[in-house]
Structure 1
């Protein structure tokens, strides 16, 4: 299992539209093959910055999602809200304590 972290920065005027879109799409994303967890975070000091954390069973599952119509349409819409270039990392989880 690995984690995909995406940092996105939005124009303030588009935050509500992004959150509405995320609300509509989150269950579809979460139900994608191989997706084990989906989380959305908002920076405490800069409300224009958001992070998604998505946990995937295999890298091929993420690649299949990134090539899906769901992702392509969602990402196309999301990009119109950005005020800065997004950043993304794929990381292996080493430790998790609960």
Structure 2
């Protein structure tokens, strides 16, 4: 007879490793403006899935796309400025 055993002991033994580290949380915090801008862009696209986009929808998508690109540029500039020696950006 085969015994079915839960993996609870194995999972709880590594519970400390399942949580994100402080460095991972900091990286997520740094990327949060990009994540939120991408969510807004997806939301703008999702609203137009079941209909033909109106002029207002198209403007909303363009604005969301510009915000997403601006957030990515800001993130890259922050990362590049942080990695340059002497604080020059």
Structure 2 length-normalised TM: 0.29
> Greater share of helix residues, 1 or 2?
2
> Greater share of strand residues, 1 or 2?
1
Structure 1 length-normalised TM: 0.27
Higher RCO (C-alpha 8 Å, min separation 6): 1
Instruction: Return the index of the structure with the highest Cα Rg.
Output: 2
